[in-house]
Structure 1
């Protein structure tokens, strides 16, 4: 399967921001995981992706963001039907709060939209784009800030223009803050921008 995201070794400055979080550093050191940069985190020559690439790329919003692919196990009999899981570790600041020291719930849904979209994007045609048609979020417990979170996501299936995925926002040690499911529609590229 061709990788859509930008394959890149983690920036040492990004990795250094997680040095005090053992479970996060273990992701950086796991030889099975394939690091990549989410395309939405990369500034463009147009206004697309500006929310994640610029507005949420500050010391008080998301100061560090690193994603990894976990490929399906080749030893599994159903490996050809399994999706790649994406794991994303982020450092969240207090400028994301809704309540004092608690991350805004709408921001948590944005995280799920972004990471599930990144996982589902693996299967879209290269000459097309995707848009979220449906996102359902179940909140399990508040995300206190500042925080380091782990987001997991995978594509469940695709049918024609429709692609379904699931994901979670976690504390990296087994605790779950929120889970989500999403439907994305494959669309023509918008506004002439090369997405």
Structure 2
């Protein structure tokens, strides 16, 4: 398969996506970290999965993707690693009319993101859920999906249910998926879980595909 072409900064050796100026150990260090955690490694080893580093963890410039990729991602007590995973169905990598609807994102969260003592700040929980929604759309864009799936999207609404306190430091995984599409609107859901598989937080969100510039 020819590598997709896109200005996005997703890193995925399996897809031939290694943007220029990507830190040389960005992908390998994330894979090594999560592979060392038994419950995460089990999920990574499922057949047919493709691993990738989300764009937000590999910023192009100091003017964009700074919150996740720089402010948090370059702080050893912040967001230490992020690794995405998806399972393409038949034709999904080559058929522009067949978008990806579900992704998983693994996050290694340091104690610097606590609110209450040893508990992840609620705003950070919201940010990781919101970011996971955006990753679905970024992946469809980098895979060259036809509009509206392949367009840039923005959050229109976000509703979060906090089920349990999320301890820090910790490793969590967020599963995000598209429930339905209506014109330029994508209706989405996500869940954050820990090692025991219990839902720690869940979210509903509506995203809007941006109109093309005239």
Same fold? TM cut 0.5: yes
1:45-56 map, 5 Å = 45=61, 47-56=63-72
TM-superposed CA distance for 1:53, in Å, is 1.1
In the alignment, the residues of structure 1 paired with residue 152 and residue 28 of structure 2 have an alpha-carbon distance, to the nearest angstrom, of: 31
Contact 1:129 1:189 in 2 (8 A): no
TM-superposed CA distance for 1:150, in Å, is 0.8
* Structure 2 residue 123 is matched with structure 1 residue 118: no
Per the alignment, residue 60 of structure 1 pairs with 77
Per the alignment, residue 13 of structure 2 pairs with 8
TM-superposed CA distance for 1:33, in Å, is 1.0
* Structure 2 residue 177 is matched with structure 1 residue 154: yes
Root-mean-square deviation over aligned CA pairs: 2.9
Pick aligned residue for 1:41 from 54, 57, 60: 57
After alignment, is 173-182 or 15-24 more displaced? 15-24
Per the alignment, residue 17 of structure 2 pairs with none
Contact 1:15 1:25 in 2 (8 A): no
Flag structure 2 segments of 5+ consecutive residues without an equivalent: 15-25, 92-96
* Structure 2 residue 174 is matched with structure 1 residue 186: no
Pick aligned residue for 2:160 from 134, 137, 151: 137
TM, length-normalised to structure 1: 0.81
Contact 1:70 1:84 in 2 (8 A): no
TM-superposed CA distance for 1:95, in Å, is 0.7
Per the alignment, residue 46 of structure 2 pairs with 30
TM-superposed CA distance for 1:72, in Å, is 4.5
Q: For each residue in 1:113-140, what CA deviation from the matched residue of structure 2 results, as whole angstroms up to 9, or x when unmatched? A: 0102212442654884221110010110
TM, length-normalised to structure 2: 0.75
In the alignment, the residues of structure 2 paired with residue 185 and residue 20 of structure 1 have an alpha-carbon distance, to the nearest angstrom, of: 37
Pick aligned residue for 1:106 from 120, 123, 126: 123
Per the alignment, residue 77 of structure 1 pairs with none
In the alignment, the residues of structure 1 paired with residue 29 and residue 78 of structure 2 have an alpha-carbon distance, to the nearest angstrom, of: 17
Number of residue-to-residue matches in the alignment: 184
Per the alignment, residue 20 of structure 2 pairs with none
In the alignment, the residues of structure 2 paired with residue 167 and residue 120 of structure 1 have an alpha-carbon distance, to the nearest angstrom, of: 14
In the alignment, the residues of structure 1 paired with residue 212 and residue 171 of structure 2 have an alpha-carbon distance, to the nearest angstrom, of: 34
CA distance 1:112–1:189, shift in 2 (3 Å)? farther
Per the alignment, residue 96 of structure 1 pairs with 113
